Structure 1
């Protein structure tokens, strides 16, 4: 079992979610929030922002039927019923927990740690983005910790399992807000410390989403990160003209993604500009408004996901959306999460360059995600082994298409070498 030599120096503590006390207030505020009876311009669709009918339906579900206690219990029980997932903390009784906090460089870092029963399982860190949290990976954590058959494009396979670690980004939900000059490079550094020093994994694999902390780990910590899987990379997505100029022919799925890319990098980029330039304006305006946060976050969750969201294999239904927003509102972290944009205004690099590592890299494209990087572009930034295209799913793969994400991450396990 991996343990740091002296993790008492990181004040490692078991953690349990207990946000019930905020529910009466959030329900009262949501219930008393007025919304227009009808849409002002009913025919513009969600491209101009969240639709009032959709928002009202979510608000009513939140107040009348959403059961936070049930969701909180589920988030607290990723592994509590499975004895093999015990994690022994030095100087503590042998109590089974699966969530912790540690203090690294003065930052309180919350994380899930779900251990496999397989002694030779590979360590894996899953990294969420905005507007996500560790909850984004709830459907995939336990399956990845269990033994499953991984199959590559070369049609060979073996049993794969992972020790799964899912931290909350600084300033998100239960992780403390960082200093004003904190960047995602700093986040990558403390997450590497989490894996190697706090948890004692000399090497590990990475799955990265937006905010590309995973790619920074892959490119900067080449002795510890020995495999990486991405759905998002920190390079400016190519234009349709650039793709054509490079004689790249897009598949039918990629054509859909390319249209989504154009919409996101055009009018859909307004949220990015607002958060980058005036994080306090939006953060404070919605700080004590559960329905305001619901409108801001749920609009992105819906727009950036597969239009079939909520139908199998997607689990991105109203309950998942309300759980996500509840975590932001009840932890008072909407404002601090928004600051990640102002702290990292130049996240996209227009010049493609290859990471200085020999570790294998994997990429998955889900049809309705918000940015397109064809295989030829992804191959320029790492040691690309596999580029998988899925005709179901969107930006939040862990909720949009959990089975496909699990399969792709298991494929990475075939190539992981400690």
Structure 2
């Protein structure tokens, strides 16, 4: 019986690797480091800030200067590359796209296949702290984890056309899970643009996606006036989350407008400018995170920021990554719609995420909400900013997942 179970598990996860040209993949970017260092070293920064304003006007000069110094003098790319290469990685050819993905299998033959979907300015790296723990059996719960890179991000090739949508990405990621890897059913987790892709998968492929966990949704949060009109009572943590969301909507969307309307302007301006990318991405990673980032349980420290930016800079993928905004100008909507599926949904609200979603509004996206959690630590990158809480919440999928 055990042998039969093992054989069935192997058969379910087997696929025609020749059709999709599945190839093992290792990150090997060390030869690019001398040039990166030269570019960073030769980039001048102002000797002092112009007006001494806070980070609401953009990245602070002192913070950028310190990141630049660490990049040159402290940061060890080889060590970070080795850490990322601990994960089993592949590429596959799907619809003319080279799709890079992590595929970490659990030793448990009954492990739940799970796809983790990142956003911008993230990559598969933002899930690095949670991949191995999720594959480790704990109280009869474990997952086989797949983490693809979005088209145009780091090691995945750019989409073949300018109007490539999140629904197109949803389609090829469903192919990845079902045809390339051979999983008949699976669960998903999504954040930022990954939540938009994941929500499309959740609704469009409802016979294969049998549970979904989100920390973000393809909708803007309600206004304070709407929350008051709906008589929603907020906890102290939710009040902080609401305030964070209001600030983001009122002061934090300039980058989105630029990347949506003029992706080539910002993309080409920063294409071969790693310090420029550090300023553009580093400001978001700092501002969108918990103010306590870098202190336990957070691992979102300067090394994590420099690793993230290094991946963009070393793969020359900054330009292609920002095109996701231009190709999907209505990716985030103010009108809530319900996904046509009976699969359970779970949602986690982290205190300092950039959008606040009250439980009453999450319920508008599904009739199948089975868990809504609020955490008093963490921000927009919970895989780095509060890994233990995210792991715990994702593990709750096991209680509702039906194969």
> In the alignment, what sits opposite 1:351?
335
Structure 2 residue 379 is the aligned partner of structure 1 residue 389: no
Distance 1:351 1:45 in 2: 33
Q: Match for residue 172 of structure 1?
A: 153
Match of 2:394 in 1: 409
TM-aligned CA distance change 1:399 to 1:5, over 3 Å:
closer
Shift of 1:349: 2.4
Q: Please give the alpha-carbon distance, in whole angstroms, between the structure 1 residues aligned to 2:205 and 2:51.
A: 50
Contact 1:134-1:167 within 8 A present in 2 as well? yes
Secondary structure of 1:191's aligned partner: helix
Aligned residue among 67, 70, 74 for 2:76: 67
Is the 1:109–1:176 contact (alpha carbons within 8 Å) kept by the matching residues of 2?
Answer: yes
- Residue of 246, 258, 263 corresponding to 1:279: 263
Count of residue correspondences? 389
2:108–2:137: 8 Å Cα contact kept in structure 1?
Answer: yes
Q: Structure 2 unaligned runs (5+)?
A: 1-9
- Whole-Å Cα distance in 2 between the matches of residues 326 and 254 of structure 1? 34
Aligned to 2:5: none
Aligned to 1:399: 384
Structure 1: runs of 5+ lacking an equivalent: 79-97, 150-158
Q: Determine helix, strand or coil for the equivalent of 2:252.
A: helix
Q: Deviations over 1:324-372 (max 9, x none)?
A: 0000000000000010000000012222222111100000000000001
Match of 1:202 in 2: 184
Shift of 1:45: 0.9
Q: Which has the higher helix share?
A: 2
1:21 to 27, 31, 38: 31
**Post-superposition offset of 1:6:** 1.7
Tell me if structure 1 keeps the 8 A contact 2:213–2:394. Answer: yes
Aligned 8 A contact 2:220 2:355 in 1: no
From 157, 172, 191, give the equivalent of 1:190.
172
Q: 2:114 aligns with which of 93, 110, 124?
A: 124
Cα distance in 2 between the residues matched to 1:104 and 1:249: 47
Moved more, 230-239 or 298-307: 230-239
**Partner Cα separation in structure 1 for residue 62 and residue 181 of structure 2:** 46
SS of the residue 2:365 aligns to: coil
SS at match of 1:417: coil
Superposed counterparts of 1:207-286, under 5 Å: 207-211=189-193, 212-286=196-270
TM-score calculated relative to the size of structure 1: 0.92
Q: Is the 8 A contact 1:148 1:410 kept in 2?
A: no
Q: Separation in 1 of the partners of 2:44 and 2:375?
A: 40
- Alpha carbons 1:7, 1:197 under 8 Å: kept: no
Partner of residue 87, structure 1: none
